[in-house]
Amino acid sequence: MNVLWIFAHPERHSLSGALRDEGHRVLEGLGHEVRTSDLYGMGWNPVVDGDDFAHDPGQRLIVGAASQEAHARGTLSEDIRAEHEKLRWADAVVLQFPLWWYGMPAILKGWFDRVFVKGFAYGVVDGGRTLRYGDGVLRGKRAMAVVTAGAPAPTIGPRGVNGDIDELLFPLQHGALFYTGMAVLPPFVVPGADRVSPADYACAAAGLGERLRTLGTAEPIPFRHQNGGDYDDRLVLRPELAPDRTGVRVHYAES
């Protein structure tokens, strides 16, 4: 299996860096090929600008249309095209980052902003239907988030003060990865990351290794497919499904 590892942590010699090295060791030991996009190490530019699309500076820049046109012409900036090639190559994508202010670091958000352009990751129509939420153009690939969080485990549980980690990650897992068609595996989360003892690290490394061993076989999160019949013509969940409930959990087929 070809695995693309997106690493978004500024410190190479950190808990996250050690877990990345362990993850690579496990994957390569299983015979998988691994490529890495170390965003801080690459000096990744997270800001969308006109240079990405080589647009006419005399014209107003409409990002979606400009990126779609540039993608079709093959004139996207070189760094974006390099990430596209890695994504085409990959069978699975691991996204590793620390949870900062309830979300991903800005550099990783900027990776999505610049790489998941219209025409490549979204905005593709087939048979009159837009390919998204389970049927996107990256369908057939798997994705898993590896997240370190300073918060203790109970505080990111279903009744924790910080909110349920699955709901905190919903924009990434459902709104970006599943939207583009990927099968999204449950995240691997290391809580209390600012107070990890050697024993804690050994446990986290073993847990990550076990998750990576099942990267190609584990059951993905059962998000509902947009075009699977669960949503009406307005893309609202049908009333007989999860009746009298609201919130992100209604978009899980098991709910």
34 and 99 together in one domain: yes
113 and 158 together in one domain: yes
DSSP-assigned letters across all residues of the chain:
-EEEEEE--S-SSSHHHHHHHHHHHHHHHTT-EEEEEEHHHHT------GGGTT--TTS---HHHHHHHHHHHT-S-HHHHHHHHHHHH-SEEEEEEE-BTTB--HHHHHHHHHHS-BTTTB--EETTEE--SSSSTTTT-EEEEEEE-SS-GGGGSTT-TT--HHHHTHHHIIIIIITTTPEEPPPEEE-SGGG--HHHHHHHHHHHHHHHHTTTTSPPP-BPPGGGTSB-TTS-B-TTSSTT--SGGGGBTT-
209 and 234 together in one domain: no
254 and 206 together in one domain: no
Region 205-231: mean pLDDT is 95
Confidence class for position 72, pLDDT limits 50, 70, 90:
low
Please write the tens of the pLDDT for every residue from 75-129: 689 999 999 999 999 999 999 999 999 999 999 999 999 999 988 898 877 777 7
What is the span of the domain harbouring residue 255?
Answer: 224-255
122 and 240 together in one domain: no
26 and 129 together in one domain: yes
Please write the tens of the pLDDT for every residue from 169-217: 999 999 999 999 999 999 999 988 888 889 999 999 999 999 999 999 9
Q: What total of structural domains would you count in the chain?
A: 2
